[in-house]
Structure 1
Amino acid sequence: MSTSDGTGTDARRPAPHDAGRERAKVRQQVTELVRTAREPALRRQAQRSITARYRARCDRTLELVTGRDGHDVLVAAREVIVTRQTWEDTGARAYLEIRGLRREELDAPGVDDRIVLLRTADEVSASELDDTVAELRLRGFPVSQNQVLPCGPIMKNLGGPALAEALPRPRHRPGADAPHVAVVDTGIDARVRRDGWLVDVPRHADGRDANVDPLDIDPGDGYLDLCAGHGTFVAGVVAQVAPTARLTVHRALLGGGVGTEIDVATAIVRAAEEGADVINLSLGASTLYDQPSLAVEAALDRLAEIEAAEGREILVVAAAGNAGDTRPVWPAAFAQVVAVAALTAEHRPAPWSSHGFWVDCSTVGEGVRAPFVQGVESYEFTAEPDRFPADSFARWSGTSFAAPQVAGKVAALMAEHRIGARAAYARLRATGTAVPDYGRALRILPGM
Structure 2
Amino acid sequence: MDAVFEAQFRMIRQACAREGKHIDVALRPGGEAAYAYQAERLLVLDRGDNVARIRRHLPGVYPVDETAPGDLVVLATDRLDDGRLTVPEALETLRREVGAERFALDGSGLPLASPVHVLHLSRLCMATEPETPNGAESAPWPPPCSPPEGGHEVRVAVVDSGLMENFDEADYPWMTGVTGEPDPLGPVSPGTERLIEGYTGHGTFVAGVVKCMAPSATVAVSNVFANSGAELETEVVAALDRVVAAHDPHIVNLSAGTYTQGKVPSLAFETFHAQHPGVVMVAPAGNDATSAPFYPAAYDWVVSVGALGADRRHRAWFSNYGDTVDVYALGEAHVNAYTSGTYVYNEPPKASARQDFTGLARWSGTSFSAPLVAGLIASRMARTGESAQAAADAVRDTAAMQAIPGIGPALHPCDEP
Work out whether the TM-score is over 0.5.
yes
- Mapped contact 1:286–1:329 kept (Cα < 8 A): yes
Q: Distance in 2 between matches of 1:337 and 1:218?
A: 40
Structure-2 change in CA distance of 1:104 and 1:436 (3 Å): farther
1:269 and 2:228 equivalent?
A: no
Residue 367 of structure 1 aligns with an amino acid whose one-letter code is: A
Q: Distance in 1 between matches of 2:84 and 2:216?
A: 46
Partner of 2:374: 407
| Pairing partner for 1:257 from 229, 233, 253 | 229
- Mapped contact 1:62–1:74 kept (Cα < 8 A): yes
Q: How many residues align?
A: 384
Partner of 2:396: 429
- Mapped contact 1:87–1:93 kept (Cα < 8 A): no
- How much has 1:267 moved relative to structure 2? 2.3
Residue 341 of structure 1 aligns with an amino acid whose one-letter code is: G
Partner of 2:305: 340
Q: Distance in 2 between matches of 1:380 and 1:261?
A: 24
Structure-2 change in CA distance of 1:277 and 1:218 (3 Å): farther
Give per-residue Cα distances to partners, 1:175-214, cap 9 Å, x unaligned.
99611111111111131223235453334xxxxxxx3222
Q: Distance in 1 between matches of 2:189 and 2:93?
A: 40
1:128 and 2:86 equivalent?
A: yes
Residue 103 of structure 1 aligns with an amino acid whose one-letter code is: P
- How much has 1:435 moved relative to structure 2? 3.9
- How much has 1:154 moved relative to structure 2? 2.0
- How much has 1:158 moved relative to structure 2? 5.3
Residue 164 of structure 2 aligns with an amino acid whose one-letter code is: D
Q: Structure 2 regions of 5+ residues with no counterpart?
A: 104-111
- How much has 1:87 moved relative to structure 2? 5.9
Q: Distance in 2 between matches of 1:408 and 1:48?
A: 33
Q: Distance in 1 between matches of 2:121 and 2:83?
A: 25
Q: Distance in 1 between matches of 2:74 and 2:189?
A: 30
- Mapped contact 1:355–1:437 kept (Cα < 8 A): no
| Pairing partner for 2:157 from 182, 185, 194 | 182
User: Normalization by structure 1: what TM-score?
Assistant: 0.78
Where does 1:207-356 land on structure 2 (aligned, <5 Å)? Answer: 211-216=181-186, 222-273=194-245, 274-304=247-277, 307=278, 314-347=279-312, 348-356=314-322
- How much has 1:95 moved relative to structure 2? 2.9
| Pairing partner for 2:338 from 361, 368, 372 | 372
- Mapped contact 1:217–1:225 kept (Cα < 8 A): no
SS in 2 for 1:249: strand
- Mapped contact 1:186–1:230 kept (Cα < 8 A): yes
Residue 298 of structure 1 aligns with an amino acid whose one-letter code is: T
- How much has 1:150 moved relative to structure 2? 0.6
Residue 355 of structure 2 aligns with an amino acid whose one-letter code is: D
Structure-2 change in CA distance of 1:161 and 1:118 (3 Å): farther
- How much has 1:55 moved relative to structure 2? 2.1
- Mapped contact 1:342–1:365 kept (Cα < 8 A): yes
Q: Distance in 2 between matches of 1:121 and 1:219?
A: 40
| Pairing partner for 1:90 from 52, 61, 67 | 52
Give per-residue Cα distances to partners, 1:377-417, cap 9 Å, x unaligned.
1144435543122xx12110000000000001100000101
1:40 and 2:2 equivalent?
A: yes
Q: Distance in 2 between matches of 1:278 and 1:288?
A: 28
- Mapped contact 1:65–1:127 kept (Cα < 8 A): no
Residue 160 of structure 1 aligns with an amino acid whose one-letter code is: P
Residue 389 of structure 2 aligns with an amino acid whose one-letter code is: R
Give per-residue Cα distances to partners, 1:38-68, cap 9 Å, x unaligned.
x722212221122112223x23221122245
- Cα RMSD, aligned residues only: 3.0
Structure-2 change in CA distance of 1:94 and 1:131 (3 Å): same
User: Normalization by structure 2: what TM-score?
Assistant: 0.83
- Mapped contact 2:283–2:297 kept (Cα < 8 A): yes
- Mapped contact 2:123–2:288 kept (Cα < 8 A): no
SS in 1 for 2:339: coil
| Pairing partner for 2:327 from 361, 381, 393 | 361
- My pick for the range that moved more, 325-334 or 428-437, is 428-437
Partner of 2:61: 101
- Mapped contact 1:187–1:232 kept (Cα < 8 A): yes
Q: Distance in 2 between matches of 1:85 and 1:399?
A: 35
Q: Distance in 2 between matches of 1:407 and 1:148?
A: 23
Residue 372 of structure 2 aligns with an amino acid whose one-letter code is: Q
Q: Distance in 2 between matches of 1:414 and 1:247?
A: 14
Q: Distance in 1 between matches of 2:289 and 2:200?
A: 24
- How much has 1:294 moved relative to structure 2? 0.7
SS in 1 for 2:195: coil
Q: Distance in 2 between matches of 1:87 and 1:176?
A: 51
- How much has 1:336 moved relative to structure 2? 0.7
- Mapped contact 1:87–1:116 kept (Cα < 8 A): no
- Mapped contact 1:102–1:121 kept (Cα < 8 A): no
Structure-2 change in CA distance of 1:379 and 1:327 (3 Å): closer
- How much has 1:420 moved relative to structure 2? 0.8
- My pick for the range that moved more, 147-156 or 410-419, is 147-156
Q: Distance in 2 between matches of 1:423 and 1:157?
A: 31
Give per-residue Cα distances to partners, 1:52-99, cap 9 Å, x unaligned.
12223x232211222457542211121110111276453323334x1x
- My pick for the range that moved more, 181-190 or 263-272, is 263-272
1:443 and 2:397 equivalent?
A: no
- My pick for the range that moved more, 360-369 or 429-438, is 429-438
1:387 and 2:364 equivalent?
A: no
Calculate percent identity across the aligned residue pairs. Answer: 30
Q: Distance in 2 between matches of 1:240 and 1:67?
A: 40
Q: Distance in 2 between matches of 1:161 and 1:429?
A: 31
